[in-house]
Structure 1
Amino acid sequence: MPSSLSPQRKSTSDLPTRQSLRALAVHLRRCWTLGCFVVACWFASSLGNPASAQIFDGLDAYPPRWHLDSSDCQARVIDQDHIVDGGVDGGTCESITFVAANGTEALLVYPIQPVRPLNDLLAKVSVMSARAGAKIGFRIRYPYLRNPETGRPESVTVYGAEYTTPGEFATIGIGMIERALKLKHMAMRGEYGSQADLSDAFVDGIVINAYAGPGKTALRMDELSVDGLVDISAGIVTGNARSRDDLDGDALAGGLRTGLGSDQQMAGRVDQDGRTSPLSLIQKRAFPVGRITRILQHNGEPLAWVRSLGFDAVLLSSPPNAAILAEANQARMAIYAPPPTSPDPSIEALLEPVAAWYVGIGEALDSRQVNSTAMTSATLRRWPTRWQRPLVAAPSETWRSYAPLLDAIIDDLPPRVRGVRGGEEVAQMVATRRQVGDRVESGVGIDSMPPESMLRQTEAIAQAIGAPAPDGFRWHSMWLQTMRSLESTPAAILFRSTRPLSSGSMFDHSRAMSLSYVNRMVAMIAPWVVSATPSPPPPMVGAPYRCTRLTTEGTDLLIATSTATRGSEVLAGDGETLEILLPPDDAAKTAWRLTHFSAERLTPEATTTGARLQIVSPDAAELIVLSSDPSVGASLAQSASRFVRQAGLDRWQLAMESVRRTRESWNRATAARASDRRAPTNLVAVAEQTLRQAEPLYRAGDTDQTLRMARRADAWALRSDWQLAESLMPDWPKPTSSPPMDFGAAEIQTVWRPLMDDAGWGDNILTSGSLDDANLMGPGRWSFGQRMASRATSEVQHVVRGTYQGPGALTARVTPIGDDPLPGGYEGTVIQIRSPSVRVAAGTAIRIDAVVRTIGFGAPHQGVLVYDSIGGQEMGVLVRGRSDWTPVRLYRQAIDAGEVSVMFELIGAGETTIDDVRLSVWEPESILPKPVPYPIATASNAADPIASDPGVSTTQQSSDARRDVGLDDMDATRIGRDAGDDQPTPR
């Protein structure tokens, strides 16, 4: 008997015969035929049923999906729109018209999420044109191979079917691309050398080569569908688990990627022609050349929608992941983000959208953070080549120390509610630029919303008093700040935001529209800003405006911005005339006005000293171009025409909402008797009538006239809001801060108006607030901190002469040591004085009063910043130029229970005296009459005059006694800061 472990021989009956093999082959052939038939049926059904596609886009809604990416025929888009009844089935479709010279390609690209370039990837689209020749294709991107000229990852296009039936719709498609892609790989290795890394390639766009010859070409596109999408992250693997195509590509390259050496070794290699390997070509610029990059601080908004608002990039709050990188690839958005703790191989192939690493997110980069930033910079510089990116940060001070560590710097402008004048903002930007020079790129940071602390307080106030939630946004001040920032010719503008624009609230909807309008205006004039040189502006008379002049190759761009401002409020020049006095050198130049997104020709009026340009009822920001070359007008018109449609829609809706809010705010104020003024019904009525007259123009698509009418109505609404604010704030023109009024929520201020009166406020609960005690400094009492000891001497002392009230006051003085003047803003903060802390309950309304006078502080953005621990520095009131005693008042709402302190910061060189600091709590019950019980006379209290006083109850006496005891106990438990450790906190 054979062993169970020994092999058993098969009988001859178990071996396949020739006949059985033939039968098996026939069977397999039948199965193969059936399988092909099933696949063909599936493919046909997928083509006939677009709903089954993984991507189906009817191309029937704004914004346009296709964009002109590149061409070799000088292609230029002259019109891109949606045709309501021009589609395949009579529906809406997308159309694009362009002009081209001689060439071979004009690539229209529809971005998609990065997917694997497999044979299963199928795409089709219906097109119609009067000219044949359009071809569909896939764009394949190579993340590790950079183009020597552009610095971007290299790409190739694999084409499919061609459009051959002019005058009617036809469906063209593409699939089965792997074989054609291998031929492309061979050609690329012949160009870049065998060391070129073509691994982890992905498809990031559907392409139509729309070139059909020189001249004008119009193309309609409808019903795009894509199938067979395999996410790139599912195909990126490491080790030996790699696809056959990857192995073939590595074989052509000379081995596996691990056998080619590290990134550092590859960065120094040269190919057979002596050229540096493309792997070593790392983009050194944080912002693209020749444009002003517009960046939004991201809060979860869809990137495609953010791009429709005119943004080029987003700033993330955390390191990027695969999802956001794939979305950025599809939306054609650049990303600025904090770097991860270490390189992550799983997202290495998706890093193309990352334009730069943002250092110091969520922290203040002041003089104390230079060393830590230097360590971070050195670490990132040592990362593998594929992960290296420029470094961007927003220091608060000591720009000279940060400049060698970074490639670009963001200079944040001061909060608009602080009331820093436009000329001072420009001077501060110029001073910062002078410190860093041309060593690093420069951008500006602008708040796209009120401070977060102000927004939270306004919402809390509205909820507490039953008022409607804030729904408006004072966008004009943001617009003016953006226009003024162009004087520094920034390479980028970062719009800071702490809340998502896509929340759906009216407030965020208004922000989104205003940012869209501002972005369009910046993009329109960017060609005349990026390479310009600031030069002295011409004088202006009439309406209160400030002028910026930027010169580019004989062409001057004049940006006139209104100086009629009050905090974040703005007045346009309605009814007034702005006169620009041109010197003789400019008198003969041709002038155009771009304010309405059109090159409107202006005729100067000759004068004895040159010429004069008159603008009646100017907008809040005016754009004038002067040039000796009349052909510049064509370039201006072309640039404006690209953005006029969306800008007109945005400005129209903004004006409609502004007039509506103005009418409702005045109606509420009048009904509540919160205003002692009559409503300016004539202004509001004229604004409403103007919009009614302009509505047919708006519906007809006459964007130029729509813009004109909308900005007129907008100007009248601004003046009406200005008058309403004055009636709701009786403390003005004294330095005053009220969250609803600073926010622009007149509807909330109307209900909160009783707090503006003195009745209802309790006694001062701030111990030693009178500043009469010479020993007021110490633990649990007043404290102060000092900085910049090497540049200035500073002192804080108690004085008994020249006080406002009582026998004492507090004086602080800052004197520069050298000849160099002290800067303004946070960089110039030398002293911070802090009051004792007072604990308040949640939901408590607080009023802070102080009397201040100042001497000096003559440089831009200098003075005494008065603020509190609830609102923070962003809501502080800047006091300067007040040699007489000036009352300062802050209204605040305590959202949470906690400690409240009052702070005084000295910014720059000067002297201030502070006296009579008060902190009161709103006690509305003190206004109402209280029932007085009839006293019962007894033998024990008949002789006590207080007990027998009918005006003072025993309950009230006990309450007052408890209040006194409580204050003493609280004062004993307060903890103050040491004088040397108190550092002001930057915004």
Structure 2
Amino acid sequence: RSGEAAHSGSSGELVRVQSGHGHFVHLVYDTTPAHVISELRPSVWVRADRPGIQFLVRVVFPHVANPRTGKPVTRLLAGSTYTQQGSWQQLRVDDLPKLVQAAVRPMRSQLGSHIDVREPYLDRLVLNLYAGAGTTRIAIDDLDLPSAVAVGNATEMAGRAAQKRGPAESPARRRVELAGNVLQVDGQPFFPRMVEYQGESLNFLKGLGFNVVRLSGAPSDALLEEAKRAEMWLVCPPPVLKDEPADDAQDRPMVFDARYEPVLAWHFGQGLTSRNLEAVRRWVEQVRRADEDAARPLVCDPADDLAQYCRTINFGGILMLHRYLLGTSFEMADFGTWLRTRPRLGLAGMPVWATIETQYSRELCEQISLLSSGRAPEPAASLEQLQLMVQAALAAGVRGLCFASRSPLDAQDPATRARAMMLALINIELHAIRSWIAVGNVTPEIKAANTEGVNPGITGGVLQAGHARLLLPLWTGTGAQYVPDQLAGNLITFVVPGAPEDNTVYEVTVGGLRSLDRKRSVGGMHVVDDEFGPTSLVLLTNGIAVSAMNSGLPGAGQRAAQIERDLTAYRLARVQEIDRQLARVA
């Protein structure tokens, strides 16, 4: 405590937070359980040198058991966010009953409409102190919980929730399945944001916004346990299995038990050719027998013979596609077309995951190093290049993205820190549109035009989910695999066929939604964007989708703004260093 942190009285809490790139740093205060009533309005006074701190409360639903743990389900409900940098501001959580009702709707979708949500109570106050990478100083004082009505039997109610599962019942395994070409987890659409594992902490990768880690080998027991604690999914090769059962019970073929619960899907290899086909077929048969209860999806990434490999993993299979783009002669503008046409060599309707390169190939980097006698730095992909590849993949209808990485993302050199920041920013953008990219149907590409009626090198991909459409810009300039063109345009018009007349139109950014001009004319809805950039997504929808998207954008926008600021500082430092090197040469 410090007098410097006092809002009233003689002292308050002074906290200094130093963090990397992530989403949260929680300071928690456990309180006496209190009934959720409209008069209960928790508040706290905060002063900080950066905006973005958020006040939350934890609510317990004592009669709803978590199917994995047997304990009562809890939810964090968000209150106000700190905006008055350098000044005291009261953060509050108002209208708790309304917030609880909003939290109940997705719970019923996930756990069933039969759940008993009576008697919710508040048991914890939370400050999310994360305001972006770097150091933040926060003064905290006058934490208040007025009109609190204590819950006298919270422990007893929690025990009743556990008993509803049955005394001998083990925690339910999470269900991973394919519904058509949509991946579902516990019945809800799921879009994997995956990264190749290079030994980083799984909590670190989760902080960058990834929800899946791809391994090159079978997971160890320690890594499986770490994934369970971090609530991260794994995509990995299965462990080695025996061909036939032996007389000795210890030599019977393996059955994948509860240790493997964090495994989302089994991956059978990258760059597979016809020479590997028979071995993979035998392996797939063994894995299906060993994983009969969970029946996880099977993934393969063949270099040729796609039809045979797709038939091998047919039921519950996912095709993974990987193509090197950065620094090659393959035009980045053709990447989406390749992703759409390549699966036709396999099986129609099979879901596709795409790999996104985040670094130039090792071979190219070695060539550059040799030609420069080791003086040239390793080339680095730009944020715009990564965004172009991601947009093309999404517009092609992929159901998951894997970001390739051949070196750890937690290394402390400036280039790696910048790469981690770029991926964190892209994950924020992907999270904002997850409802569309997980289930949306791809419609034919549409053309764009400027005020002179000329296409400025942009087409649009459209994902339709229900009555809502998400338009993704696709920049078609040449040479972007080396250096992208200027990815900006003014007064760009798209014509979206089939959009309902009562749809409103918004530009979607992680900072929020901005209304755009639109009119009904020949060919469909004419949408005009006065300032169009590489990630200028356009949403055509009714009010329901707008409310759902708006609810998650404010906090994300603050994190994204801080990342973009840090990336700009990195770019400036890099340009200044190059300028100094050129001056020495001159």
TM-score of the aligned structures, taking structure 1 as reference length: 0.41
1:575-654 equivalence runs, <5 A: 577-581=491-495, 589-595=503-509, 597-604=511-518, 612-627=526-541, 629-654=542-567
1:468-617 equivalence runs, <5 A: 469-470=377-378, 472-542=380-450, 543-566=456-479, 567-574=481-488, 577-581=491-495, 589-595=503-509, 597-604=511-518, 612-617=526-531
Q: CA deviation at 1:335?
A: 0.8
1:484-514 CA distances to partner (integer Å, 9 max, x unpaired)?
1112322211111111111111221111111
1:333-372 equivalence runs, <5 A: 333-342=232-241, 348-360=257-269, 364-372=271-279
Q: CA deviation at 1:305?
A: 1.0
Cα distance in 1 for residues equivalent to 2:458 and 2:280: 41
Q: CA RMSD in A?
A: 4.7
Is 1:327 the counterpart of 2:294? The answer is: no
Query: Contact conserved, 1:594 with 1:640, CA < 8 A, in 2?
Result: no
Structure 1 residues 660 and 287 mapped into 2: Cα distance closer, same or farther (>3 Å)?
farther
Counterpart AA for 2:272:
L
Q: Partner residue of 2:361? A: 451
Cα distance in 2 for residues equivalent to 1:582 and 1:442: 25
Q: Partner residue of 2:74? A: 107
Query: Contact conserved, 2:208 with 2:423, CA < 8 A, in 1?
Result: yes
1:319-373 CA distances to partner (integer Å, 9 max, x unpaired)?
111221222122110011122224999995432211122112xx52122221111
Q: Partner residue of 2:204? A: 305
Cα distance in 2 for residues equivalent to 1:345 and 1:181: 37
Query: Contact conserved, 1:60 with 1:82, CA < 8 A, in 2?
Result: no
Cα distance in 2 for residues equivalent to 1:428 and 1:108: 42
Q: Partner residue of 2:132? A: none
1:62-141 equivalence runs, <5 A: 63-64=23-24, 95-96=55-56, 107-108=74-75
Q: Partner residue of 1:432? A: 342
Cα distance in 2 for residues equivalent to 1:282 and 1:607: 46
Q: Partner residue of 1:315? A: 214
Q: CA deviation at 1:636?
A: 3.2
Q: CA deviation at 1:162?
A: 6.0
Is 1:290 the counterpart of 2:290? The answer is: no
Query: Contact conserved, 1:472 with 1:506, CA < 8 A, in 2?
Result: no
Q: Which structure has the higher relative contact order (CA within 8 Å, separation 6+)?
A: 2
Cα distance in 1 for residues equivalent to 2:496 and 2:53: 49
**Unaligned runs of at least 5 residues, structure 2:** 1-14, 28-34, 36-42, 65-71, 77-91, 98-109, 113-119, 126-142, 243-252, 451-455
Q: Partner residue of 1:710? A: none
Local SS of the residue matching 1:594:
strand
Structure 1 residues 554 and 379 mapped into 2: Cα distance closer, same or farther (>3 Å)?
same
Structure 1 residues 132 and 666 mapped into 2: Cα distance closer, same or farther (>3 Å)?
closer
Q: CA deviation at 1:578?
A: 2.7
1:295-340 CA distances to partner (integer Å, 9 max, x unpaired)?
1000011111101111001011221112212221221100111222
Structure 1 residues 332 and 585 mapped into 2: Cα distance closer, same or farther (>3 Å)?
closer
Counterpart AA for 1:379:
Q
1:71-470 equivalence runs, <5 A: 95-96=55-56, 107-108=74-75, 167=145, 187-189=164-166, 196=169, 198=170, 283-285=176-178, 288=185, 289-342=188-241, 348-360=257-269, 364-383=271-290, 385=292, 389-406=296-313, 407-422=317-332, 424-437=334-347, 440-459=350-369, 464-467=373-376, 469-470=377-378
Structure 1 residues 404 and 130 mapped into 2: Cα distance closer, same or farther (>3 Å)?
same
Q: CA deviation at 1:517?
A: 1.1
1:856-877 CA distances to partner (integer Å, 9 max, x unpaired)?
xxxxxxxxxxxxxxxxxxxxxx
Q: CA deviation at 1:401?
A: 1.0
Structure 1 residues 310 and 438 mapped into 2: Cα distance closer, same or farther (>3 Å)?
farther
Structure 1 residues 85 and 345 mapped into 2: Cα distance closer, same or farther (>3 Å)?
farther
Local SS of the residue matching 2:574:
helix
Cα distance in 2 for residues equivalent to 1:611 and 1:131: 39
Local SS of the residue matching 1:382:
helix
Counterpart AA for 1:310:
G
1:676-725 CA distances to partner (integer Å, 9 max, x unpaired)?
xxxxxxxxxxxxxxxxxxxxxxxxxxxxxxxxxxxxxxxxxxxxxxxxxx
Local SS of the residue matching 2:529:
strand
Query: Contact conserved, 2:446 with 2:459, CA < 8 A, in 1?
Result: no
Q: Partner residue of 1:784? A: none
Local SS of the residue matching 1:510:
helix
Counterpart AA for 1:625:
L
Counterpart AA for 1:369:
N
Query: Contact conserved, 1:412 with 1:445, CA < 8 A, in 2?
Result: yes
Cα distance in 2 for residues equivalent to 1:342 and 1:640: 46
Structure 1 residues 433 and 98 mapped into 2: Cα distance closer, same or farther (>3 Å)?
farther
Q: Partner residue of 2:9? A: none
Pair member with larger Rg: 1
Cα distance in 2 for residues equivalent to 1:183 and 1:501: 44
Counterpart AA for 1:188:
R
Query: Contact conserved, 1:131 with 1:167, CA < 8 A, in 2?
Result: no
Q: CA deviation at 1:465?
A: 5.0
Structure 1 residues 59 and 436 mapped into 2: Cα distance closer, same or farther (>3 Å)?
farther
Counterpart AA for 1:415:
L
Query: Contact conserved, 1:510 with 1:654, CA < 8 A, in 2?
Result: yes
Q: CA deviation at 1:472?
A: 4.3
Structure 1 residues 359 and 163 mapped into 2: Cα distance closer, same or farther (>3 Å)?
closer
Cα distance in 2 for residues equivalent to 1:371 and 1:356: 21
Counterpart AA for 1:528:
W
Cα distance in 2 for residues equivalent to 1:608 and 1:294: 39
Structure 1 residues 424 and 571 mapped into 2: Cα distance closer, same or farther (>3 Å)?
closer
Query: Contact conserved, 2:274 with 2:305, CA < 8 A, in 1?
Result: yes
1:826-860 CA distances to partner (integer Å, 9 max, x unpaired)?
xxxxxxxxxxxxxxxxxxxxxxxxxxxxxxxxxxx
Cα distance in 1 for residues equivalent to 2:545 and 2:471: 15
Cα distance in 1 for residues equivalent to 2:552 and 2:306: 35
Local SS of the residue matching 1:570:
coil
Counterpart AA for 1:604:
R
1:893-925 CA distances to partner (integer Å, 9 max, x unpaired)?
xxxxxxxxxxxxxxxxxxxxxxxxxxxxxxxxx
Cα distance in 2 for residues equivalent to 1:518 and 1:431: 25
TM-score of the aligned structures, taking structure 2 as reference length: 0.67
Structure 1 residues 83 and 161 mapped into 2: Cα distance closer, same or farther (>3 Å)?
closer
Cα distance in 2 for residues equivalent to 1:615 and 1:634: 21
Structure 1 residues 185 and 499 mapped into 2: Cα distance closer, same or farther (>3 Å)?
same
